[in-house]
Chains A and B, each alone.
Chain A
């Protein structure tokens, strides 16, 4: 019932949302987080990952979320490759009986994904390309859990 996918192609937000809220009779709410490539100085972004470990680390996070909260269904999809501003990068969706579990579990998943899943962003700007540095704030958010 849970879905973990690492892929270069885009995902269908409507179809993923539909699957989550139809996952079980007891579903009372679905929370979805979608991360996108921010516009501005960045002309494009290339996401590299560690095939094999990436899927494993996302599955481990989903298992931990399931131990901590009562959840009906979880979907995590993360893209890799070259993406343009406005394109979707990541989908985190959680269906549960009540909203509190879905909000908490989705926030946990994206916070921990950002510090544990082996993805690296390289930005293209007018000045050239550069690897994105990890943010201290992301570590702080992940540690709350």
Chain B
């Protein structure tokens, strides 16, 4: 399964990357599991695990951490929004 992952705002700055196209192991079925998988790749990725208030979106809609992940999805991680 291949997904497109995007990072925004302070999280993007902390990770020093805007996004990545990544092939996932078969054990990753939810957005929460994807976060854990991505954040466990070494010190550079630690903010994904350590930031308590991260939000996520699947295919451009806000979602929960138990949201399923499917092949070809666009998954985004970001801090709480501050527009308006």
- Is the beta-carbon distance between A115 and B80 smaller than 8 angstroms? yes
Chain B residues, CB < 8 A from A120 = 8-10, 78-79, 81-83
Closest residue of A by beta carbon distance from B12: A48
B20-28, B31-39, B55-63, B64-72: which lies at the A interface?
A: B55-63
Q: How far is the CB of B6 from chain A (nearest CB, A)?
A: 7
- Is the beta-carbon distance between A53 and B76 smaller than 8 angstroms? yes
Q: Mark A84-124, 1 if CB is under 8 A from B, else 0.
A: 00000110000000000000000000100111111111100
- The contact sample of 10 A-B pairs, CB cut-off 8 A, is A48-B9, A56-B60, A78-B83, A89-B84, A115-B80, A118-B76, A119-B81, A119-B84, A134-B53, A134-B80
Q: Could you tell me which A residues sit within 8 Å of B by CB distance?
A: 35, 47-50, 52-53, 56-57, 60, 78, 89-90, 110, 113-122, 131-134
Measured between alpha carbons, how far is A35 from B83 in the docked complex, in Å?
A: 10
- Residues of A contacting B: mostly: mixed
- Is the beta-carbon distance between A114 and B79 smaller than 8 angstroms? no
